[in-house]
Structure formats: C-alpha cells, structure tokens
Chain A
Amino acid sequence: MPLPADTLSYDFDEEGVGFGAPKTPAAAHGDGLSGAQKIALTMVGLGLLSLVAQVSGGFIAGSWLGLATSIGLLAVGAILAFWLQHRDSVAGIKHDGIFFSSLLARGSAAWIAGIGMTGLYVLLYWYPQYLGQPVVGGEPTGLIRVVDPLARLMTGYPASQWFLYGVLYTGAIFVFGVRMIMKYRHNRYQQIRTASVAFFQLVFAWFLPNLLVRFRQPYMEFNGVWPLKQNYLWPEKAAGQFLDAGAFGIFLLCFAVALVVATPVLTYFFGKRWYCSWVCGCGGLAETLGDPFRQLSSKSTRAWQIERWMIHSVLVIVLVVTASLWIDYKMTGNLYGSWSGPLRQWYGFFIGAVFSGVVGVGFYPLLGSRVWCRFGCPQAAILGLWQRFFSRFRITTNGGQCMSCGNCSTYCEMGIDVRAYAEKGENIVRSSCVGCGICAAVCPRGVLKLENGGTHADRYAGAATPITAFLDALEHRPKLVMPVAASGSQRDDPAVKRK
C-alpha cells in the first residue's frame, strides 16, 4: 500500500533549519503581568535610575538614602518580581521558551549581557578609577561611593572597589537565590542547598571577613580553602600575616588547615557537592545568578577532553607555584630572586582575574554558569579526584525508566552527558559532578537520584581498588565512541537475563 503523499513529500531539514519558536498564535493574550508585578518592575527601574543619577550627578550619593533608593530598591524590586513570578504558578519545571530566548540561548541579548558583565570585571580589576576608586587617601566617587555608608559601618574604612564587588556579589546571590528557591519549590534539595550557599556567602565570605578588617585582622574568606584561595598558602600570607597576627592568626591558620583536612573526609561521605554546591562562593554565584544559563555548557566529547586537561593542569600549576614559592621563601629568594613577585602577579592575573572572574562569570550568558568550576578551579580538581575514586556519592538511575529525552544532559551545568548513563541504567560517577541535583529535578520520568550510598564499593567497576582505578584512568582519555549498547546493558535486560 503506498504511503500517504504528505508523508512522502516530507523532507524538512531538522538539523539546519530547525523548528524554532512557534509563531504567536491568534489567541495569545497580553503581557500577562499582574499589578503587583508591574510595581515590582517599576521598583527595579527606579532603583536603576537612581543609581545612574547618583553615579553621574552625585546628589544623594554616599548617603544611606542614596544606597537604599538605588541598590536597595533594585534588590527588593527584583526579589519581589521573582517571587511574584513563581508564586502563582504550579510547582514544577519552568523551562518554557528557554531555547527561543535571545538572552538564554546565546542570542544577541546574551552577547550584550556577556560583554556588560565582562566589562564590569575589567573595570574592577584594571580600571577601578572608572568605578570611583579614589587615589590613596582620597574619598570614593561614582559607583563605589554609593556603597560607602555600608563600608564605613562594616569596616570603618571608606568603600573600595572590592567592597563594592562584595556587595554586588552577595546581593546577586540573594536576589537570584530567591528566584531559585521559588523556581524549584517542588524540590526541597534545591531550596535547602540555595539557602546554604546564600548563608555561607553572607556570613563566611562577606560579614566575617569585613569584620576582620574592622578589627584590623588579616582578611580571610572563611569558606575559601586552599587551593581555591591558593594565596592563603603563599609564604607571606601564611607565615607573615597569619602567624604574625598572633593567636588569632593561628586560629585562622587552623581553620584553613582543618578545611584542607576535612575536605577528603566530607567528600568521602557526601561527594564534592558539600563544598561546590553548598558552601563555595563561586559555586554560590553560579547556582543563583548563573542558574538561568546552565543549559549553555557544552556537552561535546571534545569539551570533556579539554576540561580534563585544563583543570588538572591548573591543579598542577597551583601545586608547583605554591611549593616553589615556599622553597624560594626558605632560600630567602635564591630560587626566583626578583621573579617571585611577577610570578605571583602572573598567576593572579591569569587564574585569579581572567579565568575565574572575566571568563568564569562574565561569560555566563555565553558559555554557561560553571566555566571556572569546570575548566579552571584547582579545588574542584582535587575534590573531583576524591569524588571520582573514593567517595560514597553517586547518582543512581531508576532501572529502565529513562526515555532518553535529554533534559538531564541539557540542564547539567557541568556539561555531563547524564543521559548517556541514565539510558543504560548506570550510576553516574564523574569527577566534575558538583551534585547540584538539577538533573534529578528536571527529569520528567523520575530517573535520577543523588545518593550517598552505604559504602564506596558498589559505585563503579573497580571501586574496590581506587588507586588502580585512578592509575588506569590516567591512561584513558574519554572515548569518542560511547559504548552504547555494550555489555553493561545486558545486566539491565530481563529478556537476555533469562537466556
């Protein structure tokens, strides 16, 4: 029997042309904003206006009123807007239209946002004078002046570019944290985890460090660990500042060391997520401000290969730089001589500023939210090695329920092809997985679950001998040919089992 004519004539180029957004149908209703939402957005607009006015003209700049009516109004308005947006919706996945959005799917709006955010970092790092950073001893102006009253209250000093950065950073985590908590209100793991990163950012990375400044103690972010904050173990910092600061310095040093020691233990029990998705400030920003962009991470095998080389190279560089600086220090400069300063500067420039700031955050709208965490963070590299080879954490898959839709892979910010494991019914045991739990939250068939397991031994083939597994892994790069229907799948197949 011949096939129908409209079937035979179908030859659409789904790859090249693609499907795109449905054209607005005749029935589409207005903008759908409620009165309250309009008020919230007006607050955001007024806050922005006030900010611009204060940066350019001054007027109430530098007063509490100025701060409240600019950044304050902006934050409150945005929180209100996000809250209202999700309050009346049914709890569940909210991904409609993401791949039609210019901002969220790498369209022109994403480029504008990316350039804007990158620009802010460039100003912060290299041209703070344009943000109003004063010459030594002077008064701040411009944008920095807006946060000046808060800086004086907190630290007793005038605001600097880094104080401004801290306020914006912490503020972004809070505003977008509310968005996250409302968006994922069908999933308590997401809510609790978001509250946790917001708490650690506010108290450990912002409040306490600024308090230290107030009491003229060495500055330290309490949720930062070597090697993420690698300069904490640089000789001057460790020996000079911490030890010389007396008992308090020793306390800080113990704290930092405890984190280094606690790291493998906590990672053994919970996976690297205890840090990356619950405590870390970089992770905190990625999981809140970065959440709308998580789908942009590349899932290609090529990206995976680059990732493995790059992140482990950074780890080696950090280890070498730290060790050699200590040797240099002990040899009173005989190793590097006058080069030790530039070495630090170069490291700080490439890894600290360019990688983690400009590319890591500035490129959220272009490369996704975890570029730094995935390709550059030495802390993530260490935790990842622990997690991969010696931890109880794994993501389990629910038997044969996966229908290969791809939501999990699409929304994995670390670019892990979760589906490739799920459709075979295999555990996901990957060093890069930050345990954000989004794959499990978005799966429409309930296939994925983050679990700590009772033991490490049943996670992957060869888990009983993690050191051998590690050495083996050194010899294998990710395979280009995914073993699609390889022997592993037989285990899952009742049809073959009974043969």
Chain B
Amino acid sequence: MHVVIIGNGITGATAALELRQLDADCRITMISGESKFHFSRPALMYIFMGHMSYQQTKPHPDSTWADNRIELLRDWITDIDTASKQLSLHKGGTLDYDRLLIATGARSNKFGWPGQDLQGVQGLYDLPDLKRLHDNVITAKQAVIVGGGLIGIELAEMLHSCGVPVTFLVRESSYWNNVLPEPESAMVSRLIRQAGFGLKLETGLKEIEDDGTGRVGAIITDKDERIECQLVGLTAGVSPNIQLVKETAIDTGRGILVDWSLRTNVADVFAAGDCAEIVTEGDGRNLLQQVWYTGKMQARIAARGLAGLEATYDPGIWYNSAKFLDLEYHTYGQVNLCIPAEQNLYWEHPDGLHSIRIVYLADRVIGINTMGVRFRHRLCEAWIAEQRPLEYVLEHLAEANFDPEFCRRFEAHAAAQFSKAVA
C-alpha cells in the first residue's frame, strides 16, 4: 500500500511518523514544495532574527526520515485525480496513491485590497515569505503591518530587530481584543507602543499605492490617512490552503470538509491540520483549528485512518500560548467567549506585566488566562475537565505556577484578592 502525504508541516510529519509506528510495511511518501525537511513554522521569526539557523528549527535529525522509511519529495502537487488516484507534480510526472492525506496548511488572508499584489506587499506564513522579507527589507524605510494578531506582532518584532520602523493598522478598538479580554489587550497595546511601534486602532486598510515602479510606495487607511511605506505586511489572519482541491471531487467549505475521523467525502482521502474543516452535525459550528498542537493531534487520528484503523478526533480542552514581544501569554479553556452567566475574576500586578484571570460559572471554572505568569497545562486542564468549583481552584492556585525557581510568585496575592471579591 502506498500512502502519500501532501505537506510536511507538523500535521504531515506527525502523521507520517505515527503511521510508521502503526504500520511497519506500507510505503510512505511525504511531499512539500516549501522545504526538503519538516521544520517548525512558529520558529520562522527566530531564523530571521538570528536566534537560530534554519537547520536548528528542524525538530528531527535528517536521518529520521530514512530511518523510518519515509520517502521525501520536494515538489508542488498541481492536481489530484481522485478517480484514478493519481497526483500531478509540478516538475513533471505523476504519483499514484492508495491512500492520501492532505495537510496543506493555511495561507495568509488577502481581502482584495487594491494594490495587494504589488512588490513589497507580503504575508508571513512560510519560507517563501521569509525569502521575500529578506528582499523587501533592503529598501524599507518604513513598514506598515495590517491586522494585529499573533503573526502581526512577530513580524513587527522581526522588522524592529533590523531597524525598520513599524506602524500597525488594527481594525479592533484594542490589540487582538477579539481574543484577549479588555485589560490584557490593553496591556499588549501598551507594550507595543512602549516598544516604539506605531499603533493605529480602529483603522483598516483601504488601498496600497504603487510608487510608479510596481512596488508599494504608501498605503491609504479607511480614514483616508496616507502613510508612506516600502513594505506592507498582511497579517489579517490565515485561511485553509485549499486551492489544490478546489476543482476536484473533494468537498470544500472554508476548508477541506472532513468528518470526526478526518475523512473527506472521497474514499481513501483524508485531510487534517490547518487546511481541514470538521463538519459538526446539528446546530454546532464547524470546527476549524489552526494551531500547532491541534495539527499534531489531528495527524494522529488521520494516521490511524491511513492505517485502516478507526479513531475519532476529540479536540479536548482548548489551550494555547504565545509571546507578545517579551510578554508571555497562556490560555486554558473558555476565555472571552461571552458564555451566558460567566463571571470573571481578574488580577493585575501594578507593574502592568503580570495578570491572572479566572472565568467561572456558578458551579465550576471554565477558563484561565495568564500574562507574564506561566501556568501548568495539565493542572489547568484537569480543573476544567473535572469541573472544579471556583473555591477549589482558588485554594490550589499556587500549585499551577510553572515559572522558573526563585521567580516572584503572585498566586497567593491574586487568590486573596479573588476570595475577597467573591465574598
């Protein structure tokens, strides 16, 4: 049996290795046009800033793939023929498969802005973007980043590290406040300004101007302000990368539509990771998960399917972490989702660099957010899964701390304030 995996991101790579554990004999081919080996996409910024070489962002030694008999192919797939189970390769030729996993990831959003295809306008998603950034910074005296999210702030940090001034255009009234509650969002906004970045809130992009040579010369905001710039970063979110499958027999919505076993509507074709949209029956919304760990978890389920085994995806309790400049952020469970009857407790250190938030219902805690404080994933997860009441969590709050030894501890302080607020 020949299993072909399109994409060598975390989803493709995890699926390939997991499949090898499940099935010692099948032939496995993993294809990507982006790089020869799997690398860590979240580490893109560290390559640019010189924290690591590209080689160091590869999670496994190069020999891993040969040792596990996973064939690697550096090429772009240009077409999928599901009837004859055949893929077309850009460099020529075709490849037959018995089972297929599509793990093509995502792409930066472009919302049809005039001028969005000019030279100097780019997203930050993959190695081609990194290459573009190297070319684009050479002439950049000023950069504008459109859309404030996790990738936007990373791009800003990258540009800052090589001396290019940055202005953010953010549609929301405060940085990333569609995800972060107001005080945390204010904290990040403050840090962004302190770092010397321009931050224009409630401001969108209207148009990107050509400087006469096919390169960007300026942008115009939806408030008709003109900002001269030679580089525009488009970081207004990402969408599933489904171009390849758009005109095939495989059903798509926002992403590639799959069931909870990550099977598409076509037999023997699976999809997982950033490109997959899990169809939810009933009135629930379809599930589109675009982070590292969900790609990894979905890959394990898909690998079981590829091996002919049964498995159902269980997203478990949501968590994530990120870093805004030097501020670390951890989140567990449901925060800022306006759940009916939810209540919030929030503590912030006077220095404005540490905070703890607990979201709870009458009988249980449903979410935890921390800024500048590290919390234990497994403990927070257990509290939420076991539906622990607020009193219990407050009593045990200090146990959740995961900061290095000798760091200042804030949990006792926060818990005391919380207990007082509740009483």
Contacts and interface: CB of A to CB of B under 8 A. Distances in A.
Contacts of B408: 188
A85 to B, nearest CB: 16
Interface stretch (A206-214, A235-243, A426-434, A481-489): A481-489
Given A19-B130, A494-B314, 19 more contacts: A1-B243, A1-B246, A8-B33, A11-B33, A12-B131, A18-B55, A23-B134, A27-B142, A29-B163, A99-B50, A186-B326, A188-B407, A403-B43, A403-B292, A403-B293, A407-B43, A407-B51, A445-B328, A498-B314
Contacts of B78: 2-3, 8
Contacts of B321: 401, 445-446
A188 to B, nearest CB: 4
Nearest to B63: A480
16 contacts: A3-B90, A19-B130, A19-B131, A19-B134, A21-B50, A90-B195, A187-B407, A188-B405, A192-B406, A400-B319, A406-B57, A446-B402, A449-B374, A487-B21, A493-B300, A495-B312
Q: Is the interface of A mostly helix, strand, loop or mixed?
A: loop
Interface string A156-196: 00000000000000000000000000000011110010000
A474 B378 CA distance: 34
Contacts of B297: 493-495
Interface in A19-53: 19-29
A399 B378 contact: yes
Given A24-B162, A26-B141, A189-B405, A300 B323 contact: no
A405 B43 contact: yes
A482 B60 CA distance: 8
Interface string A376-415: 0000000000000000000000111101111101100000
A485 B21 contact: yes
B404 A410 contact: no
A456 interface: no
Contacts of B128: 6-7, 10, 12
B42 A405 contact: yes
B161 interface: yes
A376 B61 CA distance: 25
B247 interface: yes
A86 B140 CA distance: 27
A25 B316 contact: no
Contacts of B194: 90
B76 interface: yes
Nearest to B67: A481
Nearest to A18: B54
Contacts of A485: 14, 17-18, 21, 300
B63 A14 contact: no
B140 A25 contact: yes
A392 to B, nearest CB: 13
A301 B326 contact: no
Contacts of A25: 137-141, 162-164
B50 A449 contact: no
Interface string A437-469: 100110011100110000000000000000000
Contacts of B133: 22
A403 B42 contact: yes
Nearest to A13: B36
B205 interface: no
A482 B59 CA distance: 11
B40 A15 contact: no
A419 interface: yes
Given A100-B50, A450-B404, A398 B374 contact: yes
B311 A499 contact: yes
A200 B61 CA distance: 39
B61 A301 contact: yes
A193 to B, nearest CB: 9
Interface in B320-339: 321-323, 325-326, 328, 330
Nearest to A100: B50
A247 interface: no
Contact of A403 (B40, B51, B405): B40
B52 interface: yes
A8 B90 contact: yes
A301 B403 CA distance: 30
A446 B330 contact: yes
A342 B313 CA distance: 69
B317 interface: yes
Contacts of A475: none
A471 interface: no
B377 interface: yes
Given A8-B78, A398-B376, A495-B313, A406 B52 contact: yes
A484 B64 contact: yes
Contacts of A262: none
